[in-house]
Amino acid sequence: MRSLPRCFLVSLVLPALVAIHAHCQAAARQQGEIAWAIHYDPKTFDPAKVDDQASELVRYLTGGVLLRLNRQTGEPEPQLAESFHVSPQGTLIVFKLRQGLRFSDGSALTSADVAWSLRRVLDPATQAVVAEEFISPAQVTVDTPDKLTVQIHLPKRIVGVGKVFDEIAIEPANRPSEGRVTPGPFTVSDYQRGRYIRLSRNPNYWRRDGAGVQLPYAASLRLDILNNREQEIALFLRGEYDLIDGLSPDYFALVAQRSPQSVHDLGASLNTEQIWFNQSPAAPLPEFEKAWFSNHGFRVAVSEAIHRADLARIAYDGHATPAFGFISPANKTWHNDLLKYPHESVADANRTLAAAGFHRSGNQLYDAAGHLVKFSIVSNAGNAARQKMAAMIQQDLAAIGMQVTIVTLDFPALIERLMHRQDYEACLLGTSNAEEDPSSMMNMWLSSSPNHQWNPSEKTPATTWEAEIDERMQFQASSPSQSDRKAAVDRVQQIVADWQPFIYLVYPNVLQAISPQLRGVKPAILSPGPVWNIEFLRREAADAKEGAR
C-alpha cells in the first residue's frame, strides 16, 4: 500500500513504453507488398465457414467466385463464370465457366469443382452462413452437364443472386485447402497468429487488365493483426501501412492535418446508431416501466427531444448524418425519400408526453401513477462516439424531465443482458449493414426473430404494426417485382418512423485513410471498402523506389 501512488505513476509510464516498443513490431514489408491492419485474427480460413469480419475479408481476397458484386454499381459481374442465366421463375440458375481456369497450384478448375464447393456450402454439416440465403438449402440440387456448365435447381426464387454467389468461394473438389489453393487473386502463404497474415499473388489467376497484364498487380498483401487504433494510425502516418478502413472520426482531423491527401469522407454509410427501449413482457422490470416503454407517445417524445444534428457534429466531429430511419440515404435504391418522422422539438416532446399521461413537477417528469421517470441507457465500453452520444442524450432528455443514467458494459456482459436476461431498460448500439438489400435485415424485423431487439422471439406479433412489418418484409423477400418490393420496404420504413421501436440517431460516415502511394483505389462504402478491387491496387511510387535500389 505504501508505494501505491508510485505504482500508479509507473502504471501510466509502462503502457507508453509498451506502446513505443510495439511501434517497432510491424513485420518487414516485402517488395510490392500492400499492408494494412485488421483488428482480430480470422476465426477460420475455410471459406465455407466464414462468420466473422476478418475471415470474410480473407475469403474476399483469396476466394475465386462465380460472380462478384461491383461495390460501386451494386451490379453482379461475371468472374469464374463467363456468363449466367436465371430462369423467369427464378428456380434455375445456369453458370457457364470460362475456358482454361486454373487453381493457384496449376490444376484445372472445372464444373466438378464448382458443384463440389456449392454442395459443401449447402450441406447442413458445414454450417455455412450463406446457405440460409437459399431458404431451403436441402432442396437445392446442382448438376454439371459438361465441364464448363453448372445448373442449380432451386425450390424457390432467391433474392440477390449476385450477393449470394459473391460469398461462395470455389475450392478444388475434395481438397479443401483453407485458402492455400484457390482460383482467386491471392492465396494464404503465411499466417502468424496474433501477428500477421501474408497473402501471395496467385500466378494462375484468370484475369488480365486492359493491356493484357496479368492481375493482381500487387505481389503480396500483409494483414497485420493489430487491435490498437493509436498504433495503426502511427504506422499509417509512418508509411508502414497503406490504408485504414473505418478511420475513427476522432482521428480524421489528426490524419488530415499530417497527410491531407490521404483522408476520405465518403458520406453516410449503410450503418445506423440507435437507441431502443426494452418492450419484452418477460423483462425483469417493474410493470410501470414496461408501460412507459410500450407507450407510443413516450417513445415519440424521446425521439423529438434528441438533437441529432448535435450528435453528428460533436460525437462524430461532423462525420455522421442525422438518422430518422433504418435505411440510410446512401442506399439510394431502398431509401424512402418521402419518409415522415417526428421532428426535433422540446416543446413538441413536452406536448406529446402530456398527451400520453405524463406530467412535470419542477424539472422532473412523472407518469400518471406518480412514478418518477428515470431509466438507464446501456451501451458498450470502448466506443468513444457512442459514449459521447449517450452523455448528450442524457442532457437532451433532462430537458423534458427524464433522469437518465449511462452505463457502459463490456460487450459480452452487454450481450448477456440484451439477449439472455433482457435485464436492461434502454440500449444504445449500432447496426452494421453490409448489404443494401433489405432482405439482409429480415432477422431484425421479423417479430419471431431473436434479433428483434426491442421484443425478441415473439410467438405472435405483439402489436398490429409489428404484424404489418412481418407481412411486408416477408412479401418483399419473395416478390419478383422490384417496384412491389420497394413499396413494401417504403411502408416498413414509415411504420418504424411512426412507432419508433428503434429511435435512429445517426448514420456514421465512411471514413478511410489511403496512402497516396497506393494506386488504383476506387472508393466504395460497401465492405471491404477500399480493397474491393484488390486486383488493381499497387504501390506505384514505392515500387519505383525499390526498383531503383
Q: Are 220 and 35 in contact (CB under 8 A)?
A: no
CA distance 108 to 502: 51
425 sits near another protein (criterion: CB under 8 A): yes
The piece of 135-143, 178-186, 251-259, 493-501 that touches another protein (CB under 8 A) is 251-259
Size, binding site for another protein by CB under 8 A: 44
Q: Are 113 and 173 in contact (CB under 8 A)?
A: yes
277 sits near another protein (criterion: CB under 8 A): no
Q: Are 453 and 276 in contact (CB under 8 A)?
A: yes
Residue number with CB closer to another protein (283 or 524): 283
Return the number of other C-beta atoms located less than 10 Å from residue 286's C-beta.
Answer: 11
Min separation Cβ 515 and another protein, Å: 19
The piece of 69-77, 381-389, 439-447, 502-510 that touches another protein (CB under 8 A) is 381-389
The piece of 78-86, 250-258, 439-447, 483-491 that touches another protein (CB under 8 A) is 250-258
Residue number with CB closer to another protein (309 or 434): 309
Closest CA to 370 of 379, 354, 356, 359: 359
Min separation Cβ 3 and another protein, Å: 9
310 sits near another protein (criterion: CB under 8 A): yes
Write b or e for each residue in 515-526: b if 16 or more Cβ atoms lie within 10 A of its Cβ, otherwise e. Answer: bebbebbeebbb
2 sits near another protein (criterion: CB under 8 A): yes
**Bridging pattern class, strands 426-431 and 374-380:** parallel
406 sits near another protein (criterion: CB under 8 A): yes
Q: Give the one residue of 14, 282, 368, 413 binding another protein; rule: CB under 8 A.
A: 413
CA distance 379 to 393: 13
Q: Give the one residue of 375, 445, 502, 507 binding another protein; rule: CB under 8 A.
A: 375
Residue number with CB closer to another protein (365 or 488): 365
346 sits near another protein (criterion: CB under 8 A): no
Residues 386-405 that bind another protein (CB under 8 A): 387-388, 390-392, 394-395, 403, 405
Q: Give the one residue of 354, 368, 381, 544 binding another protein; rule: CB under 8 A.
A: 381
Name, in order, each residue with C-beta under 8 angstroms of 418's C-beta and a sequence gap of 6 or more.
378, 424, 427, 453
378 sits near another protein (criterion: CB under 8 A): yes
CA distance 379 to 12: 27
Cβ-in-10-Å burial (0-12, 13-18, 19+) of 111 comes to buried
Phi, psi angles (nearest 5°) of residue 180: -90, -25
Min separation Cβ 112 and another protein, Å: 54
Query: Which H helix or E strand runs over 126?
Result: none
Applying CB under 8 A, the residues found at the interface with another protein are 1-2, 4-9, 11-12, 230, 233, 250-251, 253-254, 257, 310, 313-314, 374-376, 378, 381-382, 384, 387-388, 390-392, 394-395, 403, 405-409, 413, 423-425
